[in-house]
Amino acid sequence: MAKLSYKQRQRLPSSAFVFPEEEKYPIQDEAHGRAALQRGSQFESGARLAKIVRAVQRRYPNIEISSDLLRKARRGG
């Protein structure tokens, strides 16, 4: 996964972010979708984690999400 520069991040449409109002968790490609799941599981819980999981599942249905992460997202952390 290539790191996004500031200019690249600014050029992304709001639909490329899980939380567009904060410009957090870009998911413009599969690699960033996987990274969003990893970072989300480390730093988020509850509804925010569930939103990350749903966004990645919707955009990239072929990405396998662990049952542990799904449980964590459902129970709120």
Is the pLDDT assigned to residue 29 strictly greater than 90? yes
What is the pTM for the complete model shown?
A: 0.90
Q: 63 pairs with which residues across the strands?
A: none
- In the three-class reduction of DSSP (H, G, I as helix; E, B as strand; rest coil), residue 73 is classed as helix
Question: Is-contact 17 24, C-beta < 8 A?
Answer: yes
Q: What pLDDT score was predicted for residue 55?
A: 97
For range 34-39, the mean pLDDT: 96
For range 53-75, the mean pLDDT: 93
**Extents of the domains making up the chain:** 28-77
Predicted confidence band of residue 77 (pLDDT cuts 50, 70, 90): low
